[in-house]
Amino acid sequence: LSCVAIPLFGVGFSLCMSCILSNLLQILLGFIFDVNVPSWIKKFNQPAVVVLTTSGIQLVVSLSWLIVVPPNPTEEIKNTTILYQCEMNKESQKFFIATITYISLLGFI
């Protein structure tokens, strides 16, 4: 379970950021006083569409990470405790970088 924490964190965080972004989009469009707002903006101003689209991208990245390169814990025995570590190979690092990049993009928007 501990090795799946990073992909699950990515999905949870992107879901949270998606909800905030959809709320901000509604507030932004509420303050636009122009009656002639383009129709594509009105269609995109549905909170469910915004949340599903933006968090769905992160869900695809996380699921592909777990399917292509599943994390395997390795046991490291020390004198005092038994530690389980999740090692990342090169493929896993690429998915980790993609997750962090997408989360950063959502944070900057």
Which tens digits make up the pLDDT trace of 81-104?
555 666 667 778 888 888 888 888
> Token pair of 12, please?
């949870």
> Token pair of 34, please?
């122009």
Mean pLDDT, residues 8-29 taken together = 87
Above 80 in pLDDT, residue 108? Answer: yes
Cα gap 10→97, rounded to integer Å: 11
| Structure confidence at residue 60 (pLDDT) | 92
Q: Categorize the per-residue pLDDT at 34 as very low, low, confident or very high, splitting at 50, 70 and 90.
A: low
